[in-house]
Structure 1
Amino acid sequence: MDDRSKHDHSDWEEVVLAARERARARQALMVDRFGLSGDVQYHWSLDDARITWSRAGKVFLAGRLTMIGSVSLAQQSWLWSWANDSLPRAVLGDIERVRRYGEENDFPVLPWPGFDHRPELVAEARMVAASVLDADGLWAESTDDGQLHFLVHDLAPATG
């Protein structure tokens, strides 16, 4: 039996608050610094864990993706990417560090393979993952039946 202290909700709230502030600042910087507003198109790939942005057909920015997890709207559930055997290894990046961080700090949400979809809890998990993995930003893709959530890393202007 594990004798470590039980989850301290106030500790979790502090971690989430710090992660939320960090994510907001990083996200704003990413959008502003690289001009990711307006008529910007993007393309992403799970297979090579890459995302690119283009304007008028010309790619101007590239980055690496780490999939955080996914939401099934039909099942109203969240599944961490580290618990999803169907994903390519490349897109998992260092997501296992988030699970371990949860275990080491007694934060139950992070090491659970999945949980009931509650938008605020999903947002908290995403922001803490971004903080733990020192992401440049967050990215999400919605489909008719779900949502895919990513971290963006290693942003660099595209060359030639």
Structure 2
Amino acid sequence: MDDRSRHTHTDWEAVVLAARERARSRQTLMIERFGLSGDVQYDWSMDDARITWSRDGEVFLTGRLTMIGSVSLTQQTWLWSWANDALPHAVLGDIERVRQYGEQNHYPVLPWRGFDHHPDLVTEARTVAAAVLDAEGLWSEYMDEAQLHFMIHDLARTSRHSK
């Protein structure tokens, strides 16, 4: 999509504001509801798109990951996960819907394969993506020369910790 004439920044700002509020409240609720503070450890895998949280070596929560995109810290660029052929299929989830949403609503940042890294624009892109895919939370991880951005879905306590 390169039809910038149909894009209105005011509409984009409204979508971003709503997505930020949604992400903020969902993130707070996720942390409080599942006790994701303090001495919590986590383990994750892009191969099976899973994340688990444990305390004292005992897993108490599992979730599904969808990779949103990544920032190359050396090149200072953002790349959407749907545009990254090197990623395992499982971690892509429904990310293609975010690109389609951007095309349908004329929000150019969503269907662009990538763009120069601007922290505010990355924040906008990831929060809108989380709203489009109804994520329970957002999560980031630094690896080597990259910052990886994920959505968290389908949180479930392990059977021993169900309440």
TM-score class, shorter-chain normalisation, is over 0.9
**How far apart are the structure 2 equivalents of 1:88 and 1:146?**
17
SS in 2 for 1:39: coil
Q: How many residues get paired?
A: 159
SS in 1 for 2:79: strand
Q: Residue 104 of structure 1 aligns with which residue?
A: 104
* Residues 133, 5 of structure 1: alpha-carbon distance in 2 compared, 3 angstrom cutoff: same
SS in 1 for 2:16: helix
RMSD between superposed Cα atoms in Å: 1.4
Segments of 5+ residues of structure 2 without an aligned counterpart are none
Q: Residue 36 of structure 2 aligns with which residue?
A: 36
SS in 2 for 1:148: strand
Contact 2:50/2:65 (<8 A) preserved? yes
The percentage of counterpart residues that share the same residue type is 75
Deviations 1:51-97 (A, max 9, x none): 00000000000000000000001000000000000001000000000
After TM superposition, give the deviation of residue 142 of structure 1 in Å. Answer: 1.2
Q: Residue 117 of structure 2 aligns with which residue?
A: 117
Pairs within 5 Å for 1:63-74: 63-74=63-74
After TM superposition, give the deviation of residue 146 of structure 1 in Å. Answer: 1.4
Deviations 1:13-47 (A, max 9, x none): 00000000000000000000000000000000000
SS in 2 for 1:14: helix
Pairs within 5 Å for 1:116-135: 116-135=116-135
**How far apart are the structure 2 equivalents of 1:74 and 1:44?**
24
**How far apart are the structure 2 equivalents of 1:143 and 1:45?**
13
Question: Runs ≥4 in structure 1, deviation > 4 angstroms?
Answer: 2-5
Pairs within 5 Å for 1:10-159: 10-159=10-159
Code of the aligned partner of 2:83: A
After TM superposition, give the deviation of residue 6 of structure 1 in Å. Answer: 1.6
After TM superposition, give the deviation of residue 145 of structure 1 in Å. Answer: 1.2
SS in 1 for 2:123: helix
SS in 1 for 2:159: coil
Q: TM-score normalised to the size of structure 2?
A: 0.94
